[in-house]
Every structure is written in C-alpha cells, then in structure tokens.
Structure 1
Amino acid sequence: MKKGDQTREHIIMKSAELFNQQGFAGSSLNDIIAATGIKKGGIYRHFSSKDEIALEAYNYAASVVGSRFDEALDKEETAAGRLLAFFHVYGDVVNAPPFIGGCPLQNTAVESDDTHPSLRQRAEQGLHSTLDRMKSIINDGIQSGEFKEHLDVDALATFAFSLMEGGIMLSKLEGNNRHMQMNIVSFTTYLQQCCLKGD
C-alpha cells in the first residue's frame, strides 16, 4: 500500500472511532487532527470536507462490525443460532463492543436523523442490509424445516433487529450489559416457543 493510501486509511480509521464515540456534530476538525496526528493540510490533501470523511468513516466502522457478524455466523449451523449470533456480537457491548463506541448504525441513525441526509442514507442502507441478512436466515430455516412454515419473515427480522438495537442502547445508557443479556434470553425463548417446529 502506498504511503498516501496508508495516510488516508489512518484518517478514516481514527475518524470512525472519534465519530462513533463523540458523534459527527460533536467532533471538530481539530478533534480529527488530534486523533490522527495529521495537520489540517494533510487531511484536506486526502478529503475535500468533513462530510466526506464521515461517509468513509461510517463505511469503515460498518465493515468492521459486518466482519464480526460474519465470524459469528460462520460458527453456527442452525438458523436460530445464526439469528442469535447477531446478539452475541454485542453481548458485552459495554466493555467490548465490536467497534469502539457501540453500534455505528444506531449512533449514526440517531444523530443524522434530520441533520445529515447522506449519513442517514448510509445508516438506512445498513439497516436494510442487516434486515435482509436476517430474513435470508429465517427463510433458510423455513426451507430446512427448522422453523414453522407460517412465520412472518419480515416481522421476525424486524423484531430481532429491534431487540438487538434496544439491548445495545439500554446497556450502553446504563453501563450494564444486563439489558442485552435479558434480550438474548427472551429472544432465545421466543424462538423456541413460537418459531421452531416441534418434534
């Protein structure tokens, strides 16, 4: 990798960590300079604006979390296990989140709701991508006979995603993983009682 590419990647990585902890609006150019150790001119040699950095930074943070999801999903053989794998990636969200600062999608969605259309669009793409992944897992579970045929695939994916994101938010707010852990137990029970086919 060329030195210029390494510098650009360094700016993206450090900015992603900064934005995911302090927010886009709460992070100034001086904060980016402090986090990267690169002067203003060096940053603007690679990016035209803070907005451009933010979009690249979100993509980077989302890709890191996506890789963690991939690793967790690859270890599971059942559809139920694969759905729960998403939760387990955030099982210790307070102390060891997959990306520093918590869920990039959630943080970006909340902050950019009405203030930054481009970032909001990226977060919405992330939402649909994750929901589509969950729906594919549920459909696989139905096809294999693990899940009941009549399941509302869209509703179950939304329920799973909402439980996961709610657990992340509550656990981070309280500084205690108990909410995520309770949601894991509740969703496990729900899958067993309402989704899995009986013997």
Structure 2
Amino acid sequence: MENKTSKADKTKQFIVEKTAPIFNKKGYSGTSLSDMIHATGLTKGSIYGNFVNKDDVALAAFDFNLQKVNTVIRQEMLSCVSYREKLLVYTKVYENFLEFPFPEGGCPVMNTAVEADDTHPQLRKKASDAIVSWKDSLSKLIKKGIAGNEFRQDVDPEQVSLTIIATIEGAIMITKLTGKLSYRRAIMKSVEKMINDLV
C-alpha cells in the first residue's frame, strides 16, 4: 500500500511539474487538456485519475510556481547580513530573474492575478493570499530593521511593503507589455532607492 501511495504522489508531482510552466505562460483559460496531455505524455484518464479536474491541476501548478519563487528569494537571503540587503534581494531577483531558477513565464502572482481577477475565484484567492504573505514577509523584515536601529523609526512597514510589491509587479507588467528590459531596470532602481532611503 505504501508503494502505491508513493507512486500516486510521484505521478501527481510529475503532472504538476510538467503543467506548471504551461499554466504560468498560457494562463488557466489558455491551457487545454491536450496541452496537459502533450506535456506529460499521459492520458486524460491518468491526469484526472490523480486530480479532480483542470481547476485542481491549475491550483497545484500555482502553488508549485510560487514555491519556486519563494525558494529563490530564501536562498538569496541566506548570505545577507543586514535587513537592507535582505530587502534588496527582491530587486536583484526580479530584475534578473532569467539568471535564477524562476518559473517559466515569469511571476506567477502577476500572471494569475491578471487572469483570475473575475474569472476564477479559487485562483484569485491563491494570488491574493500570495500578495498578503509577501507583504507580511516584507513588513517583518522592515520591523526587525527598525527594532535593530537599521531603519528609521518613522518608517511605516505596511506602507513600504505594499509600495515595494506594487512597484515590482508594475515593473513586470510594463516590461512584459513593452518587451523593454531597460524599463524594468529603471523601475528596480527606484525600488532600490526606496529601500536605501529607509536607513
């Protein structure tokens, strides 16, 4: 029984790994069952034998893609000494995400938020939770920086966190839309300045 469970888990993981880049690039409505069959080499029965439906696969794919982003950020923060350096990891990673093991198709939060805004409540909730979690992580770093006298006492952690997120996500959207990487670099310089000005 144990082997059966682990085989099912492995198949599920395989389906998620193979379909996650497609959902991230094409979106929920743009990803078809034939895309999933083509990517995995499995039959419809095999896919839906492991997942309830397409929604179920899409939600697991979002989690997988988000986990990839969070792992990159955590890894990069390991070598940071100050809270300012930890915050600057976000500008470094998002400015150069092709150099990191980022999900294919870019930021899953941005991709999902734009598409699932009105069409898919469960995916919208996932994207919303991801933004809140990101905001909480940033706020925690800023609060620790304030407590350690690294940042000014008058800094509002929540306001700064939301502004950093909005600016980074806006940079991704503008770059994607125009195809101009120089725009992303320019906007990230503004985020860097915002972080450096907290001191």
Cα displacement string for residues 46-71 of structure 1 (whole angstroms, at most 9, x for unaligned residues) = 01100111111111111111101101
1:105 to 105, 109, 117: 109
Q: CA deviation at 1:96?
A: 5.8
Aligned twin of 1:148? 152
Q: Take 2:83 and 2:184, find their aligned partners in 1: how far apart are those partners?
A: 20
Aligned residues: 195
Give the percent of matched residue pairs that are identical in Structure 1 and Structure 2. 34
Once the two structures are superposed, the pairs formed by residues 19-30 of structure 1 within 5 Å of their partners are: 19-30=23-34
Q: Take 2:168 and 2:125, find their aligned partners in 1: how far apart are those partners?
A: 21
Aligned twin of 1:40? 44
Q: CA deviation at 1:177?
A: 2.3
Q: Comparing 115-124 with 83-92, which one deviates more in the overlay?
A: 83-92
Long gaps (5+) in structure 2: none
Q: Take 1:47 and 1:98, find their aligned partners in 2: how far apart are those partners?
A: 25
Q: Kindly indicate whether residue 168 of structure 2 is the aligned counterpart of residue 164 of structure 1.
A: yes
2:189 to 180, 185, 193: 185
Instruction: Report if the CA contact (8 A) 1:94-1:176 is conserved.
Output: no
Instruction: Report if the CA contact (8 A) 1:47-1:53 is conserved.
Output: yes
Q: Comparing 54-63 with 74-83, which one deviates more in the overlay?
A: 74-83
TM-score (norm 2): 0.92
Aligned twin of 1:84? 88
TM-score (norm 1): 0.92
Return the letter of the residue paired with 2:156. Answer: D
Q: Kindly indicate whether residue 76 of structure 2 is the aligned counterpart of residue 72 of structure 1.
A: yes
Q: Which structure is higher in helix share?
A: 2
Return the letter of the residue paired with 2:170. Answer: G
Query: Residues 191 and 90 from structure 1, CA distance in 2 versus in 1: closer, same or farther, beyond 3 angstroms?
Result: closer
Aligned twin of 2:198? 195
Aligned twin of 1:18? 22
Q: CA deviation at 1:26?
A: 0.4
Query: Residues 95 and 137 from structure 1, CA distance in 2 versus in 1: closer, same or farther, beyond 3 angstroms?
Result: closer
Query: Residues 34 and 8 from structure 1, CA distance in 2 versus in 1: closer, same or farther, beyond 3 angstroms?
Result: same
Instruction: Report if the CA contact (8 A) 1:65-1:99 is conserved.
Output: yes
Q: CA deviation at 1:172?
A: 2.3
1:118 to 112, 119, 122: 122
- Cα RMSD between the aligned structures? 1.6
Secondary structure (helix, strand or coil) at the match of 1:90 reads: helix
Instruction: Report if the CA contact (8 A) 2:175-2:183 is conserved.
Output: yes
Long gaps (5+) in structure 1: none
Instruction: Report if the CA contact (8 A) 1:58-1:104 is conserved.
Output: yes
Q: Comparing 161-170 with 37-46, which one deviates more in the overlay?
A: 161-170
Query: Residues 90 and 62 from structure 1, CA distance in 2 versus in 1: closer, same or farther, beyond 3 angstroms?
Result: same
